[in-house]
Structure 1
Amino acid sequence: MARQSTHEDEKAAAALHEDALADVLRRLPPRSLAAARSVCKAWRAAVDGRALLLLHPVRGVFVNYVDHDRPHLFARPSPPSAVPGIDDLLDFIPKEYRRWWSVLDHCNGLLLCDMEWPSRFIVCNPATRQWALVPQRAGAKQGDHEGAYLVFDPAVSPHYEVVLIPVVPEKPPPPDRRKVDEERRALLREQEKDAEFCLDWFFSLPDGAVTANNDNVEETHQAHQIQQLPSVEEPDDDPCRLMEWPPVPWTLQVFSSRTGQWEEKAFVREDEPAGIVQDMRLDPPSKSLFHGPRQWYAVYLQGALYVHCRGSFVARISFTDDKYRVIKAPANIEYAKLYVGRLENRVCFGITHECQLRVWTLNESYGKMEWVMKCQDDLMHCAKHVGENSREMHGAWIVKEEDTVPKESSEWDSDNDDIFEVNDKVDAEFYVNQFDILGFHQYKEVVFLVGHFGVVAYHLDTSKVQYLGNARPECYYLSHSNGVYESFVYDRRSC
């Protein structure tokens, strides 16, 4: 018995030592933590066992609003004493770059913002208040890329990259018929110079075609002769329609903060293409005139950028071996908002359509790429409850604005805060509020949903629902077109 007690004491002492070590290590910034992980097996076990390189507090959600000149952070308010402080309003960016702007992407604590679309970007860190202006790309013009994305891993390098995804080649506009007719008439006049006089065209006219208007007769004559001419050479109206997409190699424009320059980077395809260009065009372009998103979502994870692309596929672009792979999307419903993100340490794909939530995670075991259904649930009752009771519901999260005064701690208890019960009875005549995905919690199985600015956190494993608050800024003018364009879950991490 004494021997067993001694053994248990040794285990307890070891666990206490590991807890103390983990408590010290978690205070290190990511790069130092990654270096500490390689010191010895005990330190590696402490880092990996408690996922210290992954666990960073979710600070809130950056939201771009339809027809609004700036993004806002929707979050639980931070007290003035919070360390490190977060500049919710991004006021550290000079005002000349904040006339009409939005967030394009988020990656491991950094934001990519567009200031003068499509050629002026800013990369910033709201935690450290550092920012950098990305130099303009030579020859950049509107519509020459489908989306701009950020690649950054502070555990590997302090440098980041901005990646532009090329557009699917569009069908060329039809030739100018007036120009073609003018060329054919010019050819006609050249032939008439040596032609003998002939009235065959006159006697071939149908009854009633001859009028007193000589101009009409002349036009009829010219039209008849033009029809007899050989057609003028015209270029191929769609030379790209049968081209494989994405092509091989797939050349992307990439900006590196290490070199401070834009460069072309070629990626070799693994496996099959998504299809041909004319098939890709059947999928509507990502940029919506109304409730977006204006570019598809992406996530960077373990050295690869996963980008949702036009044509209903996700491109896995590896920056470790300069290869890419096409992964067919698990769903593609027209007019539905699709979201590609990170759920814990996995790539996930989410969709809401008519209050039906579906979430898949990507299984990459043994080189295979397949989507596994994680959750499928009917959220109609939840959407109805939020729609009916949003005025009476009070969540702890707010939209930070100039005159907002923090009232309480920024720490969110995702297991207990603001839980509400949903009535299962649905009135068919009541207008059901539609839910859209705001984003995924990177470290918990939680999806953030918004319905007419009312935001909830939905737990995929327990179906528990938490009301977070109203995400509408007070400075946002009232209009029938109000809504959310894009949204990005922001995790606080020091780089």
Structure 2
Amino acid sequence: MDAASDGMRLPYDVLLDILRRLPGRDVCASQCVCRAWRDIINDDHWLSLERYFPRRAFPGLFVNKTGCRSDTSFFAPPATRGASGFRGPVYPHRAIVFQSCNGLLFLEEWDYYVLNPATARYARLPRPSKPWCSYGVSLAFDPAVSLHYHVFLFPKGGLLKEPLMATSTQGQVPPFGEAHAEEFEEPKKNVLSMLMYSSCTGRWEDREFMPGLCAPGHLYDMVDRTPERYEGPFHSSNYWRGSLYIHCHNSVLVILRPSKETYDMLQLPGEPCGPKSLYSLPGNSVLASYERGVHYVVTNNSELRVWMLTELTNGQLGWALAHDAGLNLHGHMIRTLKIQSNMIWRIVGSNGGPVSLSDDDAEDDWATPHDSEYPWDSDEDNFIDMVGGADHHESVEQDAYCTIMGFHPHKNALILDLNGAVVVYHLDTSRMQYLGDADELDKDNSQAACCVEDSFIYRPCYKDMLPTGKLPMPP
């Protein structure tokens, strides 16, 4: 579309850039001006996205804990109760979060649910008909494309499936005279098998994925050789632009393309990494950013490397090194500085503590979303400057301890646990923002052996097709 095609005086890309700077609610309301204007608003994916996600909002992250009284907690800047536009996420603190995708959570609390913490709406899923791996879950949801969602489960035993036979009569002697009447199909090779739940149909279905344009057989064999001691078939899973990016063991990335029922495979860059510990955050992870694509992040003590996945139209896949930096000085500053923070992040809930969706007042004081609903300012607050902040004459040879918590929801930045501090590390400038003490994540007065094992960056979405109701709690 250009300026002349619909009477607009501005070039289309300039017009879109202007519209993206306006409040999403106002842009949405302007669709009634005329048909051409409505088509511009609805057809552009990025404008549609901003109608569902609050601009600049980074309210916090969910963490799964083990050995604690509360299985799930929300780590966030404290919001002022009664402030204009205040909204706290509603979530069941006794549940286990398996996946997060664009504002929705897939969790278990006796049954399996898809929950939107921003709207307090949820759907209880029927039990799968086949055994599946509890650490093999992928949630797919893109509100800018559709308000329906899909859940993918990996069967016990992993992704791979024995070759399927096309007919049940194979191996039997056909009746006389019909020996050549029916050709037996070749068994399907290198098939990936899964269970898929669709909110469109409300039921589970078997799905099989065939090799795509980039599916080397030796990588299929590497995934097949996953040691039994690993918990689950993969490290992590991310949904981005219609595809699932699965970080499998043996340093292999599997890309499932549900619309085509195919998959691709790619070796991860760098040195091979071992299995993720069940009782700590990962040191290497495949992460997806809605605006910036798919990345592979590796922390090796004081070294941080970030690769970006490149996908060409001809099916070729590759990696480009996007960031390579040492974190020794950053870690040294964390250990030595007395940080004066404008706002310290803590474990919070919608009522000031962990909440349950069965609480009667869980939805009280909910307001219309505003851009300023969260007082934390990711452009200004708690930056730690490298110059003059630390004593550079002291030794900084000690390696920094670093694990990965996620990708910032709308900035080119990582959320890291660096030497016991939760920080935002900006990849463009190598600057850090201090969020809070990592000990706050697993604080539990009743347990001494409490630790964080998973984290999920939360980006609220205020539109969904989930039913309204309260999660039933066991007696």
Q: Same fold (TM over 0.5)?
A: yes
Query: Kindly tell me: are residues 158 and 20 of structure 1, through their superposed partners in 2, closer, same or farther at Cα, counting changes over 3 Å?
Result: closer
Tell me what 1:386 maps to: 334
- Structure with the larger helix share: 1
Deviations 1:244-286 (A, max 9, x none): xx96331211112222211101111113235355774366855
Contact 1:79 1:409 in 2 (8 A): no
Q: Note the residue ranges of structure 1 that are not aligned, 5 or more in a row.
A: 1-9, 171-245, 289-293
Contact 1:108 1:153 in 2 (8 A): yes
Tell me what 1:114 maps to: 108
User: How far off is 1:38 after superposition?
Assistant: 8.0
Aligned mate of 1:440, from 383, 407, 410: 407
Residue identity in the other structure for 1:251:
S
Tell me what 2:140 maps to: 151
Tell me what 1:226 maps to: none
Query: Kindly tell me: are residues 134 and 29 of structure 1, through their superposed partners in 2, closer, same or farther at Cα, counting changes over 3 Å?
Result: farther
Alpha-carbon RMSD across the aligned residues, in angstroms, is: 4.0
**Which structure 2 residues correspond to residues 210-359 of structure 1 after superposition, within 5 A?**
248-270=190-212, 271-275=215-219, 277=221, 280-281=224-225, 286-287=230-231, 296-331=235-270, 332-334=272-274, 337-343=283-289, 344-359=291-306
Aligned mate of 1:418, from 382, 396, 402: 382
Residues of 1 paired with 2:137 and 2:191: CA distance?
A: 19
- SS in structure 1 opposite 2:206? strand
Tell me what 1:183 maps to: none
Deviations 1:54-81 (A, max 9, x none): 7742221111123223211111223334
Tell me what 2:451 maps to: 483
User: How far off is 1:371 after superposition?
Assistant: 1.1
Tell me what 1:71 maps to: 72
- SS in structure 1 opposite 2:196? strand
Tell me what 1:460 maps to: 427
Residues of 2 paired with 1:136 and 1:71: CA distance?
A: 22
User: How far off is 1:42 after superposition?
Assistant: 5.2
User: How far off is 1:439 after superposition?
Assistant: 0.4
Residues of 1 paired with 2:448 and 2:317: CA distance?
A: 42
Residues of 2 paired with 1:436 and 1:380: CA distance?
A: 14
User: How far off is 1:151 after superposition?
Assistant: 0.7
Deviations 1:430-463 (A, max 9, x none): 6x55111110013211101113541111110111
Residues of 2 paired with 1:317 and 1:38: CA distance?
A: 36
Residues of 2 paired with 1:37 and 1:439: CA distance?
A: 40
Residues of 1 paired with 2:105 and 2:75: CA distance?
A: 15
- SS in structure 2 opposite 1:383? helix
User: How far off is 1:378 after superposition?
Assistant: 0.7
**Which structure 2 residues correspond to residues 201-212 of structure 1 after superposition, within 5 A?**
none
- SS in structure 2 opposite 1:450? strand
Contact 1:381 1:426 in 2 (8 A): no
Query: Kindly tell me: are residues 283 and 457 of structure 1, through their superposed partners in 2, closer, same or farther at Cα, counting changes over 3 Å?
Result: farther
Residues of 2 paired with 1:113 and 1:247: CA distance?
A: 33
Contact 2:295 2:309 in 1 (8 A): yes
Residue identity in the other structure for 1:356:
E
Contact 2:63 2:441 in 1 (8 A): no
Deviations 1:267-317 (A, max 9, x none): 1111323535577436685539xxxxx962222111111111123111111
- SS in structure 1 opposite 2:384? coil
Contact 1:111 1:124 in 2 (8 A): yes
Residues of 2 paired with 1:475 and 1:169: CA distance?
A: 34
Q: TM-score, normalised by structure 2?
A: 0.69
Residue identity in the other structure for 1:490:
Y
Tell me what 1:61 maps to: 61
Tell me what 1:363 maps to: 310
User: How far off is 1:319 after superposition?
Assistant: 1.8
Residue identity in the other structure for 2:65:
Y
Residue identity in the other structure for 1:272:
P
Deviations 1:338-381 (A, max 9, x none): 22222333111111111211111111123321111111111122
Contact 2:426 2:432 in 1 (8 A): yes
Residues of 1 paired with 2:375 and 2:44: CA distance?
A: 24
User: How far off is 1:24 after superposition?
Assistant: 5.5
Query: Kindly tell me: are residues 348 and 18 of structure 1, through their superposed partners in 2, closer, same or farther at Cα, counting changes over 3 Å?
Result: closer
Residues of 2 paired with 1:263 and 1:390: CA distance?
A: 55
Residues of 2 paired with 1:37 and 1:301: CA distance?
A: 30
User: How far off is 1:464 after superposition?
Assistant: 0.9
Contact 2:194 2:207 in 1 (8 A): yes
**Which structure 2 residues correspond to residues 74-113 of structure 1 after superposition, within 5 A?**
74-81=75-82, 86-88=87-89, 90=91, 93=92, 99=94, 101-113=95-107
Q: Note the residue ranges of structure 2 that are not aligned, 5 or more in a row.
A: 1-8, 160-187, 277-281, 355-371, 464-475
Query: Kindly tell me: are residues 384 and 428 of structure 1, through their superposed partners in 2, closer, same or farther at Cα, counting changes over 3 Å?
Result: closer
Residues of 2 paired with 1:252 and 1:169: CA distance?
A: 9
**Which structure carries more relative contact order (alpha carbon 8 Å, separation 6+)?**
2
Query: Kindly tell me: are residues 252 and 20 of structure 1, through their superposed partners in 2, closer, same or farther at Cα, counting changes over 3 Å?
Result: closer
- SS in structure 2 opposite 1:410? coil
Residues of 1 paired with 2:189 and 2:316: CA distance?
A: 22
Q: TM-score, normalised by structure 1?
A: 0.67
Query: Kindly tell me: are residues 429 and 376 of structure 1, through their superposed partners in 2, closer, same or farther at Cα, counting changes over 3 Å?
Result: closer
Query: Kindly tell me: are residues 27 and 308 of structure 1, through their superposed partners in 2, closer, same or farther at Cα, counting changes over 3 Å?
Result: farther
Contact 1:29 1:494 in 2 (8 A): no
Contact 1:455 1:470 in 2 (8 A): yes
- SS in structure 2 opposite 1:158? strand
Tell me how many residue pairs correspond in the alignment. Answer: 387
Aligned mate of 2:152, from 154, 163, 171: 163
Greater Cα radius of gyration, structure 1 or 2: 1
Identity %: 26
Deviations 1:137-180 (A, max 9, x none): 12426xx465111011112222211101345569xxxxxxxxxx
- The answer on 1:123 being equivalent to 2:114 is yes
- SS in structure 2 opposite 1:381? helix
Contact 2:423 2:432 in 1 (8 A): yes
